A and B are shown apart, each in its own frame.
Chain A
């Protein structure tokens, strides 16, 4: 299980992460950020395999992929 953390001040909504995602688990959100752009969001958290391609391909250093570790584990 993975989550993405987005730096909304740095993201410019260029969609490079969305169309490069191999599992198609990202999409453009309908909400606006403070900069007035539509940010990417993780819709299929189960489908995301944590390959971190979005993180490596982000031209604005805005995405971080993180693994959600259970407290009880």
Chain B
């Protein structure tokens, strides 16, 4: 092919933000965790965030490997305690941008209590909670988010427990920014992550990520095309959901019962822990 090649920004993005010695990634075929990292980096690039003033914190699990690939300071902490460590970093150095990668088992199962109290405290963190419906790294055990009647290593006859809706929980606790996205569409998550980083206060972005190896294999979604299409078929935008609930026929409304709502669920201003802490220090200092 004759002609000069004009370099686009994606290759430059990789040059700036990635640790090349860590690549190739460890993720399985069809896993969407790489996409989550990709979208986070695009969001960082959109905001022109200084990598020297950004900390990536993660717990244990497939999703928590992500902090190792970014060319910034990071912490790979104990299981479920990523939010506790991140709170400590933010309390000690409030001017740092702290981004937490955590999984559904790590963030809502093992570290569920930390999630509750970090939201309640309203720490200024951006939490990217990657939900793949299972404990992927340890071999596909049932997680708090595993859908009812689905199969896993520890539920060989079907899961009888109702799943946890992490976004609804965060909304109830009053998190200033709550969103959920699937990874098939790149631009909404990029924009949402950028909004979450800019938000003063706790921002929770739940990403629905396909796991063909640990979850899909046991639930008839082993093929990559099938599992990626499953997420398209089983998600609905919150605006469309509300529209159909208001104006739709009973059949249309009945068709929504097994769909997962995606979109921005909550976006408002609330005084964060750091601001209240600074005010308190001003009040009581001698």
Provide the B193-226 mask, 1 if CB < 8 A to any CB of A, else 0. Answer: 0000000000000000000000000000000110
Q: Which chain A residues in 31-73 approach chain B with CB under 8 Å?
A: 35, 52-53, 55-61, 64-71
A68-B35 in contact given A53-B186, A61-B18 (Cβ < 8 Å): no
Q: Are A16 and B14 in contact (CB under 8 A)?
A: no
Question: Which residue of chain B has the shortest Cβ distance to A55 in the bound complex?
Answer: B10
In the complex, how many angstroms separate the beta carbon of B211 from the nearest chain A beta carbon? 12
Confirm or deny: B246 has a beta carbon within 8 angstroms of a beta carbon on chain A. Answer: no
A10-B8 in contact given A19-B228, A58-B38 (Cβ < 8 Å): no
Q: With contacts defined as CB atoms under 8 Å apart, how many contacts are there between chain A and chain B in the complex? A: 92
Provide the A1-39 mask, 1 if CB < 8 A to any CB of B, else 0. Answer: 101010001111111100110000000000000010000
Residues of A within 8 A of B42 (CB): 56
Confirm or deny: B34 has a beta carbon within 8 angstroms of a beta carbon on chain A. Answer: yes
A15-B224 in contact given A56-B38, A57-B186, A58-B38 (Cβ < 8 Å): yes
Residues of A within 8 A of B225 (CB): 15, 19
Question: Which residue of chain A has the shortest Cβ distance to B13 in the bound complex?
Answer: A61
Please tell me the number of chain B residues within 8 Å of chain A, measured between CB atoms.
32
A19-B224 in contact given A52-B8, A69-B5 (Cβ < 8 Å): yes
CA distance A5 to B3 in the complex (A): 15
Confirm or deny: B262 has a beta carbon within 8 angstroms of a beta carbon on chain A. Answer: no
Confirm or deny: B32 has a beta carbon within 8 angstroms of a beta carbon on chain A. Answer: yes
Mark B residues whose CB is within 8 Å of A: 1-8, 10-11, 14, 18, 23-25, 27, 29-35, 38-39, 42, 183-184, 186, 224-225, 228
Q: List 17 A-B pairs, Cβ < 8 Å.
A: A1-B3, A5-B5, A5-B11, A15-B225, A16-B228, A35-B24, A55-B10, A56-B39, A56-B186, A59-B27, A59-B33, A59-B34, A60-B23, A61-B38, A65-B8, A68-B5, A69-B4
